[in-house]
Amino acid sequence: MPIPPRRKSSPSSTPPWDRTVRCTRRCWRFRQRRRLLGSVVRNGLWWTTACAAFAFPALRWRNRNARDLRQSRRNSASSRPRFSEAVLDSTDAWSHALSDAELAGLPESARAMFQQYANERGQPGWLATLKSPSVQAIMSFADDRSLRETVYTAYHTRASDQGPHDSKHDNAERIEKILALRHEAASLLGFDSAAHESLEGKMAATPTRVLDFLHTLADKAKPVAERELAELGEFARERFGIDTLMPWDINYSAEKLREQRFDFSEEDLKPYFPVEQVMAGLFALVGRLFGVQFVARADVPLWHPDAHFSMSWMPMAASARGFIWLYARTGKRGGAWMDVCRARADDPAIAQKPVAFLVCNFPPPTPDLPALLTHDDVITLLHECGHGLHHMLTEIGWPSVGGISGVEWDAVELPSQFMENYAWCREGLDLLARHYQTGESLPQDLFDKMLAARHFHAGLFLVRQLEFALFDFRVHLDYTPETGARVLERLAEVRKQVAVIEPPSWHRFPTLLPTSFRAAMRRATTATCGPKC
């Protein structure tokens, strides 16, 4: 197709057709450079993807105000950091000094962690915070029910007008603004909603297909979750005298039930997963699978003493690099993720090697103990490593279509799910697991117990993921400027459909997560397509 001539425009008006031409010219230049991408481009796959990405605005911006769209995107981009900063500030502002009595039931590794939190703030004794390792330890092991309720309340009301937090961090207005800006941008591009726009170029294709998929899963999973919850409630009545199971009782009671049923606890595995051994085993595993050797570099400036930098060496291929930051700390965003620092580019004019960030929030080492991971932590690390490998091992030398940018976003979980397999296989664990004191590998009887408990409460886990996914999608799909987001109303509707655990009215999950449908289908597929050996 010939390229239309560049159209001149006056400085006082926005030239949407000129922007269209620039996008088309970029697409044309990409075609001229297609030989850089080798046979993958010649089969048409990446050529189609790249042209679709470049031509996308060209198809939508004719006779529309491109200036409004750009401003809407800028406003949305500036709102998201403020949203995340409010969650982080609210998280870091709360703490609770633990008494001797409140330590009952907590394992030694958790006590050491709480003592270190207190030392970091110059306080005596033990200090609970809202960092994920702290919350997980208390919700799973603390015998003191009132302590569990206190931590649950503080954790699930962060960045809201509820609970013990400063109202200046309330994200309610920010989430309304973000959703309004996303809807505005989608409308300018000709879509009915931000959900419709997000599905452009994804496998799911239509909102109906997404909702049908999620509702089908919910119909199958909810009866299983209801049986699991009823069973757990009966166990809690008999074991602890808890007549009404509250949300802050779920993890604690479930951990005790698992111990009774399988003679197994996550704490039994932690001594076999010191961070140094897990990382060495991970690099050895990647070497066996992909022929890639990662070597630590100490000569690269880093932003924190806990961060690490590694580079890979691959025969007959471009080297890659990765920043790794594993431990939770004050001022650090929660969760675990991989992100792109630099994408691979082979064009001599912009040549660069792929570089990735891999960030987690694991419990840090203490003066008495090394950093010990749970099995779930190991799965998380392998999962994010899969994303990092997808980015770093790409053979595509054009940034817009290489690595994680070259697949539909609701299919991007494949490499991460693949890597999770090795946390459940004997061959993988022989590389990853060594006792931090004796150096022995994971005993076979403990491995067998771990496998037996693998699907424990899978129904409860799945309906929770479906709640996240449906809420995420519906809050974008059903948004209208006239009625606004109606976030809590939409969440109540979703919970009525899929949830089996009803949280208190003051629970404020939406103010913690800047919703993006990009994550919705990933949550559902992660829950349903778990690794299998």
Question: Could you give the residue numbers annotated as active site?
Answer: 384
Q: Tokens 């940018």 sit at which residue? A: 405
| Distance between CA atoms of residues 256 and 425, nearest Å | 25
Beta strands (DSSP E) in 317-387 are 321-327, 337-342, 355-362
| Distance between CA atoms of residues 468 and 182, nearest Å | 19
- DSSP string covering 205-228: -SHHHHHHHHHHHHHHHHHHHHHH
**Angle at CA of residue 420, ends 317 and 495, nearest 5°:** 130
End-to-end CA distance of the chain: 49
**Contact by Cβ (8 Å): 532, 421:** yes
**Contact by Cβ (8 Å): 57, 22:** no
| Distance between CA atoms of residues 85 and 127, nearest Å | 23
In 3-state terms, what secondary structure has residue 29? helix
CA distances from 481 to 239, 312, 403 (A): 51, 49, 37
Residue type, 115: Q
Bridge partners of residue 310, in order along the sequence: 296, 322
Q: Are strands 307-313 and 95-98 parallel, antiparallel or unpaired?
A: unpaired
Residue type, 362: F
Q: Helix 458-477 crosses helix 172-188 at what angle (to 10 degrees)?
A: 60
Q: Is 4 exposed, middle or buried (0-12, 13-18, 19+ CB in 10 A)?
A: exposed
The dihedral of CA 450, 455, 456, 457: what is its sign? Answer: positive
**Contact by Cβ (8 Å): 150, 135:** no
Residue type, 81: P
**Contact by Cβ (8 Å): 321, 354:** yes
Q: Is 400 exposed, middle or buried (0-12, 13-18, 19+ CB in 10 A)?
A: middle
**Contact by Cβ (8 Å): 312, 293:** yes
CA distances from 162 to 16, 349, 507 (A): 45, 53, 8
Written as six digits, the tokens of 319 are 């080297």
